[in-house]
Structure 1
Amino acid sequence: MPTTRAINSGTYGKVSRAKLKAFVIVELRCSALFERRITSN
Structure 2
Amino acid sequence: MTGCTKVGPGCDNCYAERFAERWRGIPGHPYEQGFDLTLWSSRL
TM-score, structure 2 as length reference:
0.25
Highest relative contact order (Cα 8 Å, sep 6+), 1 or 2?
Answer: 2
Higher helix share goes to which structure?
1
TM-score, structure 1 as length reference:
0.26
